[in-house]
């Protein structure tokens, strides 16, 4: 094998050695586009398309009887998908349900676990978390008649890109009731040490939960064994469930029997739900955290996607992901060193499934990349996220992406674009 990693031949040899290369054929990719934005929206797989059409057909064939008939009866579909999703988060099947959205699930979890009392009135989070989480946290604090400026503790980042776990632990004081942190930071891709943070929180009597939006489908998890209290996530990024697909929610079994903060009829015990009693009999599992009728057609693609992940195994996905991002960074170091790029992501294995390039002309560069057939992701003020995805990105895709970026910089092609984001970045 040639040792010159900057050559096309080297990338092609890496692809020949890749045991997951066949799975690219499972996805709808375009020959004229290099898709590097799977950490924002994953591509459609043929299996996800098939499961969507299967559920659509059940509506066509059975009408209302689709709730209990067909290949995937709708009445139990959220629970079935939770069972399929559980291995990806390291949980028991009864601890995972697919329901709601990321933000609505966080509202549900905080409504349940945030009970300010006896001097514990504060929520601990970080300033690098996705803003929607912080909006929800502030809202829940306000609903208790408290002031978010006093009762939300935001841990600062020293470099604007990453967090230090010891700094987070230092802020786990006696007045903290709940902690909400990302498992992977959405900008820089830094992975937090969930084991260390959970252990520290529990030693201090604090409930702790994690946002898995940028880790589900990208890295393995061990939520149950670590004793993580709760977690929530979307399924349209690395998990390829489709735009706006239904989200996920995990609650450790030690909390089963606790009444959810928000109640709705789909949180009922399945055998009692259609009694339609004015007194609710909640599910004895995480199913209790559901609210209204599930969005069946928005859930449907996830069956095919989860089937695919369970066939491949999340450990193999992670192994290839690390190889892809390592290769991309090596190429960038060799090919783009003179153009002023730096990394906002960790360069070691404490990163997730994407890299984060920092450049003062980032918005312009992203627009130029799109013009040249590469789909990146811009994050203000100066970040470029690139996510080669294990199941549908090749090493040749990575090589070609860096070559196009090199041409853009060498020829100054980015200069014809405005250095500001579009309406959607």
- The binding site for pyridoxal 5'-phosphate consists of 102-103, 130-133, 211, 214, 236, 265, 293
Contact 77, 299 (CB under 8 A): yes
Residue-wise burial string across 347-357, b where 16 or more C-beta atoms lie within 10 A, e elsewhere? eeeebbbbbbb
CA distance 249 to 240: 17
Residue-wise burial string across 322-342, b where 16 or more C-beta atoms lie within 10 A, e elsewhere? bbbbbbbbebbeebbeeeebe
Cα 202 to chain center, whole Å?
24
Angle at 81 between CA 44 and CA 280, to 5 degrees: 135
- One DSSP character per residue, 96-111 reads EEE-S-HHHHHHHHHH
Angle at 308 between CA 304 and CA 313, to 5 degrees: 150
Of 212, 220, 225, 238, nearest to 319 (Cα)? 220
Give the CA dihedral 273, 276, 277, 282, nearest 10 degrees: 20
Q: Which two tokens stand for residue 303?
A: 């069956």
CA distance 50 to 63: 19
Q: Which residues are annotated as a binding site?
A: 102-103, 130-133, 211, 214, 236, 265, 293
Of 157, 164, 184, 165, nearest to 352 (Cα)? 184
Indicate the DSSP class of residue 177. E
- One DSSP character per residue, 294-349 reads --HHHHHHHHHHHHHHHHH-HHHHHHHHHHHHHHHHHHHHHHSGGGT-EE-S-SST
- One DSSP character per residue, 262-288 reads S--GGGB-TTTGGG--SS--B-SSGGG
Q: State residue 97 phi and psi, 5-degree precision.
A: -135, 140
Whole-angstrom Cα Rg for the chain: 22
Of 222, 220, 157, nearest to 195 (Cα)? 222
Of 20, 21, 28, nearest to 304 (Cα)? 28
Start-end of H helices in 36-130: 46-62, 77-89, 102-113
Reported residue count of the chain is 425
């Amino acid at each position: 094998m040639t040792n010159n990693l900057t050559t096309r031949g080297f990338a092609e040899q890496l692809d020949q050695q890749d045991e997951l290369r066949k799975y690219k054929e499972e996805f709808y990719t375009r020959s004229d586009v290099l898709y590097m934005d799977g950490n924002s929206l994953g591509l459609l797989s043929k299996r996800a398309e098939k499961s969507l059409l299967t559920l659509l057909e059940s509506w066509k064939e059975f009408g209302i009887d689709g709730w209990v008939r067909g290949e995937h009866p709708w009445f139990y579909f959220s629970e079935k998908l939770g069972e399929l999703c559980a291995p990806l988060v390291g949980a028991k099947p009864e601890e995972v349900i697919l329901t709601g959205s990321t933000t609505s699930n966080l509202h549900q979890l905080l409504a349940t676990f945030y009970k300010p009392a006896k001097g514990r009135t504060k929520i601990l989070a970080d300033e690098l978390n996705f803003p929607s989480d912080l909006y929800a946290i502030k809202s829940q604090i306000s609903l208790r008649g408290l002031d978010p400026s006093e009762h939300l503790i935001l841990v600062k980042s020293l470099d604007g890109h990453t967090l230090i776990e010891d700094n987070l632990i230092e802020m786990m004081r006696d007045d903290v009731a709940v902690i909400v942190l990302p498992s992977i930071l959405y900008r820089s891709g830094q992975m937090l040490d969930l084991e260390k943070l959970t252990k520290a929180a529990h030693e201090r009597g604090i409930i702790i939960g994690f946002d898995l939006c940028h880790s589900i489908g990208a890295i393995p998890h061990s939520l149950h064994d670590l004793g993580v209290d709760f977690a929530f996530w979307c399924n349209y990024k690395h998990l390829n469930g489709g735009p706006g697909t239904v989200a996920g929610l995990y609650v450790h079994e030690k909390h089963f029997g606790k009444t959810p903060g928000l109640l709705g009829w789909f949180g009922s015990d399945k055998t009692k739900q259609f009694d339609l009693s004015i007194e609710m009999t909640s599910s004895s599992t995480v199913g209790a955290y559901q609210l209204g009728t599930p969005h069946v057609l928005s859930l449907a693609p996830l069956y095919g996607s989860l089937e695919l992940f369970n066939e491949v195994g999340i450990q193999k996905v992670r192994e290839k992901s690390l190889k892809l991002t390592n290769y991309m960074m090596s190429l960038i170091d060799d090919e783009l060193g003179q153009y002023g790029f730096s990394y906002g992501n960790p360069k070691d294995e404490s990163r997730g499934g994407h890299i984060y390039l920092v450049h003062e002309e980032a918005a312009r560069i992203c627009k130029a990349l799109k013009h040249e057939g590469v789909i990146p992701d811009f994050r203000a003020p100066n970040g470029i996220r690139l996510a080669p995805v294990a199941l549908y990105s090749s090493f040749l895709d990575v090589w070609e992406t860096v070559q196009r970026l090199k041409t853009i910089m060498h020829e100054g092609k980015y200069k014809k674009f405005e250095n500001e984001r579009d309406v959607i970045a």
